[in-house]
Structure 1
C-alpha cells in the first residue's frame, strides 16, 4: 500500500492492518447519527522510527495511508470499480502529447484546506517538489521520481513534465504519495513530526491519542471533490489482538472488520448464517515475500537462493498456516493482474530437495547452509510464529540448511531491514496502484524500497521503460513476463503467498463491498447504516 514501502506487517491474520467501521446516517445521506467506530490491531504510533506518521512525504505504510487517503486530496483517486483513476481535486487531467511525458490537470473551483487556506496549483507544485526534495528513506518519493519539473501555470492548472514516458503516471497521482499539502503550513525542508493533518479530503483528523488508543475523523464540510461521504464521524479504536477484535464484532461494539479475520473465524461465519454478521470475500493483492541480503556472504550467492527456492513448499505453508485466506504465489506479480506469470513455478516446479542438493553441489556450497530468518514481532494470534516455524522446518528437514528464526520489534524492524541487518526477512507488500509495475519497479529500480543493491540492466534500462510506454497495459505483458523470469532466475526475493480480502460486517451496515479499494485502502466514506435483518 509500500507499496509504498510498506512497513513489514504485524502478521496478524493477513498482512494488512485490521480495521473495522460502523456508520451513522441513513439511506446514503450524511446524518447526525452515532460515530463510525473503527477497530484495528495495528496501532499508529509516533516513534523514533516513525516521527511523522501522517506526513505524505514520509509515510509509506498501510495504516498511515488509510488515514491519509481519507484526510488528504489527490488530483486523481482510485475509482469505485475498475482501475482507471478518476478526478478528485482535479476537474480533469490528461496527457498533452503522444509520448506520455507531459501531463496536465485543471483543478476544481473552491478548494480549501481544513484550516481555511485556499488550495491552488501552487500547492500541488509545492507538494510534489517537497516530496522529491525531502526524499525520505523508506518514504514514497520513488513513486514520483520520474517528475523532472512541475509548473503551476495559473491558479487552477498544473503541468507535470516527466523525465521519460510513463503511462502509469495517472495511477501514481491517485496514491497518497501525491497528497496535496498546504504550502503555508507544511515546511519545505523537513517533515512534520507530529500527528497533525492539514488536508482537504472528505474527513478531518480530530482527537488523536499519542499512546495509540484511539483516533477520530470528522466529515469535512468544506470538502470539494468527487466523493459523497455517507457518514459524519469515524472513531478508530485499537485492539491488542485479532481475537479481541472478533469478540468486539460479535458483541456489536464494532460493526465492520477486515484483514485480521482468521480462517477459523471465516469458517464459523460461513457455518452460522443467523448470527447477524455478513462475510464478504474479495480478490486480494496483498503478498508476502522473503527478501535476501544480497551483500551477505552466504545468501548473497545465487546458488543458495536458488536452492532455497527449490526447497520451500508454498502449498504446505498456505494449507497449514493460512488455510483459505491465502493462495501460493509464484511470482512478484500476483494473480489477477495483467502481466502475471508463474515464473518461479516454471523455473523450479514442485519442491525438490534433490534438485536443491544438486544446485548447491555444482556451486561448491558446503551444507548444511546456516541462515537466519527474521520476522516482526506481533500480538497474540499472529500467524508469524507459525509461518516462520514452518519455513524453518522445511529448510531443516531437507538437511541442506541449518535455519534459525528470530523475531524483532515491529517498531525497529523496517529500519533494521533497510540497513541490511537481516540475512533473510519477511516483507509484506500491497500495491500502490493496480498494475504489474507496482510489484516490479519498487523492488528493481535503482532507489528501490528494499534498499537492495540487486541490479539487472535489462530490467532497469529496457523492460520497465518499455512497460511505461504502453498506454494499453495488455501490450506490456511481454516485458512484464520477461522481468518476472529474470527475477525467478536470480531470486533477490522469494514470493510466498497472495492474500484474499475479507470484510465481516454487522448486517445493518451498507456499502461494505465498496469499503476497500483495489490497493486494500479503506474508503470510509462508503459506509452507512441501514436496517438489520
Structure 2
C-alpha cells in the first residue's frame, strides 16, 4: 500500500480547506465496470424514523451522501470547495444589497429522471414542504429564515428572507433544499421507506434485509442536466457492520474504496504497514465530536456541573490515546481550520485541573461526587467511540468529583431518545452542512436546532442573525467570537476533538482525491478506473 496525504488549498475568507465523508459504487475490483465503495453507515427504517431518506427528514452525513447522488439542488458545492455554483439553476443571485431577496433561474430542459419537467413550482413545493413538515430532526431549521417563495413563470423562483442571510446560497446547496416531484412526495407527509426520486446525476435502487439497507446501486441518470461531470456509469454503496469487515472486503478485492468510518487502529496499521495494491489518502477534517447536555435534566441543570466537567476533561488524552494522529483537541464548537475559531474553552478553563473543577462545584454548593450517566451511539461514528467514552468515564471518576457510568445504544434508537430528552449527557459528532462558522453555531443554539436542546441564550440567538448580515464573512468574526465565549461559559455543549478523514482505495481507482469536497460531501461521480489512483 502507498500512503498519500492530500492538502487542499485554503478557501477564501472564513471558509476552510478540507474534508471527509463516505463513498459508494457497484461490482468489486473483479466484478464488472461498477465501482464499489464500502461504508459503515446504517440506514434503518423504524417507528421513530420511518423515512430516513426523505429530504424533509434526513439530517445526517450518511443519508445526505445518498441524497446528493440522486436529488438536485439549485446550487451545489464545486469540486474544489468555495462559493456554491449553479446546478439545477442556470443562475442565482441576491437582488438587493441587504441579502434578503434571492432569485434563481432554472436551466432549460430540466427534467426529473422519469422525464417529467422540473419547474419553479416544483422548487417551491419542495422547499415549502420541508418547512411545513418541520420534523424534530432539525432539517427545517436550515431554511426557516425563508419568509415567502415566489415563482415567475416555469423557470424563475424568488426567495424572500425574513432577515438578511449571506449564507443562504450555501443552504440552497444542501439536500434540505432538494428538488422533488409532487407525484412521488406528499406535501404534508414524509415518504416512508428508502426510495429516492429526483433529477440528480444518478438514479438509485436499494437492496434491503427487513428494515435495513444492505446495498445502494447508483446508475447514471441520462436525463441529468447540471454542473456535474460523471466519470462512471454505475456506483455501488455497500454497507458493513463495522470497519474490520469493511477492511477485509477491501483487501479481498470485494470493494474498491472504503472511507467512513475507518477505525483508528486500522488507519495506523495501514500507515505503518502498507499493503501492496492499496493506497491510503489523508484529508484535512472539519468534523468535530462533543458532549451535549439536556440542560433541563436535574443532574446537569446547574451549569457549574457542566463547567466542572469542562475543567477536568483531558482532550489531549482522548485524542492521543483513542485516535492517535487522526484527531486533535478542540476548544470550541468552531474547528481550528475555520477562520472565526477561538480557543474559548481553553481561555476559560486552561489545562485539565481537578482543583479548578472542585472550586467551581464548591462555590455552587454542589455535593460530590456528582452522579451522571453518559450516553453514546455504538454504530454511527466508528469503532473508537466506545473506547473514547471509557476514557471520559475514567477521567471524570478519577477526579473523585464525579461518579460516572456509560451506556452505548445503536443509532436507530439513540437519536430518537436523544431528541426526546431522555439523556442528560450524550456524545455526538458534527459534519458541516457547509464550511462557514454559522453552521457550527446555529444548528446547536438557534431555534429549532439539530439537538432539540432546551438551552436558550437570547444573546447568542441575537448575534446569529447579526452575523448573517455580513456578506464579507470575515466581518462576522466579532459576533462568532462572542458566541463561542458564551458557549464556554454556559457549556450547553462541550467540544472534545476534531478529526481528519481517510479514504483507502485499490490501485486503479481514479478520482479518490476528489471524492470528498470542502463540506464533507461525497462526490461519487468523481470516481473512475484507470492505470493509477
Give the TM bin, normalised by the shorter chain. over 0.9
Cα pair 1:280 1:513 within 8 Å, conserved: yes
Question: Residues 39 and 236 of structure 1 are in contact (CA less than 8 Å); yes or no, is this contact kept in structure 2?
Answer: yes
User: d(CA) in 1 for partners of 2:411 and 2:63?
Assistant: 15
- Write the mapping of 1:268-307 to structure 2, written as runs, cut at 5 A: 268-273=269-274, 275-307=276-308
* Deviation string, structure 1 residues 377-432 (Cα, Å, up to 9, x no partner): 33997222211111010001001001111122321111111111111000111111
The residue aligned with 2:97 is 98
CA distance in structure 1 between the partners assigned to 2:382 and 2:93 by the alignment: 47
Counterpart in the other structure of 1:510: 510
Which of 374-383 and 35-44 deviates more? 374-383
CA shift in 2, pair 1:87/1:440, >3 Å: same
Q: CA deviation at 1:532?
A: 4.5
Matches within 5 A, 1:390-401: 390-401=391-402
* Equivalent position SS for 1:213: strand
SS in 2 for 1:499: strand
> How far did 1:268 drift?
3.1
Task: Give CA-to-partner distance per residue, 1:293-315, whole Å, 9 cap, x none.
Answer: 10011211011110010010000
Structure 1 residue 271: Cα displacement: 3.4
2:135 corresponding residue in structure 1: 136
Q: Give 1:245 shift.
A: 0.7
Structure 1 distance, partners of 2:522, 2:119, is 27
Q: Provide the secondary structure at the position in 1 that maps to 2:117.
A: coil
Counterpart in 1 of 2:39?
A: 40
Q: Which residue of 1 aligns with 2:523?
A: 523
The reply to whether residue 386 of structure 1 matches residue 358 of structure 2 is no
CA-CA distance at 1:138 after TM superposition:
0.7
Matches within 5 A, 1:132-531: 132-210=131-209, 211-273=212-274, 275-378=276-379, 382-461=383-462, 463-531=463-531
SS at match of 1:316: helix
2:509/2:530 contact within 8 Å kept = yes
TM-superposition CA deviations, 1:124-144 (whole Å, max 9, x none): 011111110110111411100
Superposition deviation, residue 237 in structure 1: 1.6
The one-character-per-residue Cα deviations of 1:3-61 (angstroms, maximum 9, x if unpaired) are xxxxxxxxxxxx98754557999xxxxxx961121222222122222211221111111
RMSD after superposition: 2.0
> Which residue of 2 is the match for residue 11 of structure 1?
none
CA 1:139/1:292 → structure 2, altered by over 3 Å: closer, same or farther? closer
Deviation at 1:274?
A: 5.8
Aligned length: 512
> How far apart are residue 453 of structure 1 and its match?
1.7
Instruction: Give the gaps of 5 or more residues in structure 1.
Output: 1-14, 26-31
Is the 2:21–2:522 contact (alpha carbons within 8 Å) kept by the matching residues of 1? no
Q: TM-score, normalised by structure 2?
A: 0.93
The alpha-carbon deviation at position 235 of structure 1 amounts to: 1.5
Secondary structure of 1:498's match? Answer: strand
State TM-score, norm by structure 1.
0.93
Query: Aligned with 2:213: secondary structure?
Result: coil
1:321, 1:383 within 8 Å by CA — same for their partners in 2? yes
Structure 2 distance, partners of 1:136, 1:310, is 35
Contact 1:101–1:163 at 8 Å: present in 2 too?
Answer: yes
- CA shift, 1:269, in A, is 2.8
Aligned residue for 2:413, secondary structure, equals: helix
1:88 aligned onto 2:87: yes
SS at match of 2:331: coil
- Determine the C-alpha separation between the residues in 2 that align with 1:457 and 1:179: 31
Do 2:206 and 2:214's aligned partners in 1 also have CA atoms closer than 8 Å? no
C-alpha change, 1:94 and 1:61, in structure 2 (3 Å) is: same
- Distance (whole Å) between structure 1 residues aligned to residue 205 and residue 266 of structure 2: 33
